[in-house]
Structure 1
Amino acid sequence: MAGRIVAPVLLAIGLLGGGAAHAGLFDDEEARKAIVDLRQSLAKVEEQNAQRAAESAAANAALLEQITALRRSLLDLNNQLETMRADIAKLRGSDEQLARDVAELQRRQGDVSQTLDERLRRLEPVKVSLDGREVLVDPEQKRQYDEAIATLRGGDFDKSVAALGAFQRRFPGSPYADSVRFWLGNALYGKRDYKEAITAFRGFVSASPDHPRAPEALLALANSQAEMKDPRGARKTIEDLLKAYPQSEAAQAGKERLASLK
C-alpha cells in the first residue's frame, strides 16, 4: 500500500519535475529567440549606421569636393583679379605714356605750326609804299631791295650796283623793277660809270614814262650825257624833259642846267 502511494507520488514528482524541465527549456528558447532578434536588430542598426556613415562619408566627400572646387574657383578668381590689376596698371601706364606722347606731339605740332607760320609770314606779300603808290611785294624782295638802297645811301656805289643788278636778275617781274632800274642808274652815276648810267636811265624812261620819277631820270640822263662830253645830247634830253613834264621840279632844274650847257 505504501508502495502504491509512493509510486504516484513519485510519478507526480516526476511529472512535476518533468514540467519544470520543460519550462526551463521553454525559457531558453525564448531567450535564444530574443537574442536572435536582438542581434538582428543590432545588425540592422549597424547596417543602418554603416549606410548612414557611408552616406555621410559620401556627403562629406561631396562637400569636400565642393569646398575644393570653391577654393579652386576662389584661387582662379584671385589670379584673374591679380591679372586684371596688372592689366589695369599697364593700361594706366599706357595711358600715362599716351598722355605724355600726346603732349609731346602737341608740343611738336605747336613748334611746327609756329615754324610754318613764321615761314608763311616770310612768304606772304607785304604792303609797301613805293614811289607814291601802295603795292604788295614778296618779303624777301623787300629785304633785298631795302638792303641795296641802304648801301646806295651809304655811298658804297660799287656794292649797291652789284646788289641792284642781282635783284634785277633774280626778280625780273618784281613790283620793285622800275625803282631798281632808276636807282641802279643813280648808283652807276655815283660810280662814274656814265655810259651804263645812260643805258639804265633810258631803259627806265622807255619802260615807265608815267612813273613819278621819270622826270628825274631824264634830268639824270642829261647830266650823264654832259659828263660824257655830249652837250648836244644833254640839251636834247632836257628839251624832251621840258616837253614831256613841264610842271615837274626836274623840268625847272633842267632849265637851269640847260643854260650852263654849251
Structure 2
Amino acid sequence: MMLKQAIHRLGTHGFIGALLAGAVITAQAQTGPLSVEDRGGSRGGARTVAAESTGGNDGVIMLMQQMQQYEEQLQDLQGQIERLRHEVDRLKAAERERYLDLDTRINALAESTAPASADDENATGDGEDGEGPADPQADRQAYNDAQRKLLDRDFEGAVPALEAYLEEYPNGRYRPQAHFWLGEAYSNLKSPQLTKAREQFSKVVEDYPDHSRAPTSLYKLASLQARGGSTVQARDTLKRLVKQYPDSSEAELAKAMLKQLGN
C-alpha cells in the first residue's frame, strides 16, 4: 500500500514523476515476489526477505526526497524568473522617464534662450482671450527666473516661483509651459504632491490642446495615474494620447505602456 501511494504521488509530477515511478517499480520487482522455496526457508531466509523489503522501502523514501528537492529547485527558479521580469519592467519604466526628463530639459534650455515661439504667440492668456501681457519683457523674465530653478533641479524653489508667475501674469505668454513645469516640480518634490501635479498636466491638456506640451502632459498624467494605482484611468489617458496625437513621440511611449498595463 505504501508503494502504491508513493508511486501515485510521484506520478502527478509529470515527466520526472514518471521516471521515478518507473524506478520504484523496478526496485519492487527486484525485491519480490518470493518463490515457494524462499517462503519455505529457514528463519534466516525470513530475515533476509525482511531486509530486502526494508531496502525497497528505503529506496522509495530516497526517491521521494529527491522529488521534494526537484520541487524546491523548481520553485526557486520560478521565483528568480519573477524577480527578473519585475526588474526588466522597472528598467523599462526608468528608461522612459529618463527619456522624458532629457527631452524636457533640452526643451527647457531651448525655451530659455530662444525668442518667443509660435506656441508662445498662440497660447496667450488663459485661453479665453488673445490679450498678451502688459510688459512682455517682464513676463519673459519672470518665467525664465522660475524655469532656471528647474534647470538647477531646485524643485522646492521652483514651485512657489511658478505659482507666482501664474498669479502675477494672468495673460502671460508662457502659461502653458508654466503649468507643465509646475506639474513636473510638484511630482519631483522630496514629498511629491501628485494630486497637484496631475491637476497641472490636466490644465495643459484641457486649456491648451494645440500646444507642443500637450502630448507630453498627457503621458505624464497617465504615468502619475498608473503610479497612484488608477490603472483604468491611465489606460484611458494613454489611448487618448495615441488617438489625439498619433504622430508624436509620446504616442509610441504610450503604446509601450499600454502593453505593460495589460491593454
Normalising by structure 2, we get a TM-score of 0.48
Which structure ranks higher in relative contact order (CA pairs < 8 Å, sequence separation ≥ 6)?
2
- The structure with the larger Rg is 1
More helix, by proportion: 1
Q: TM-score, normalised by structure 1?
A: 0.49
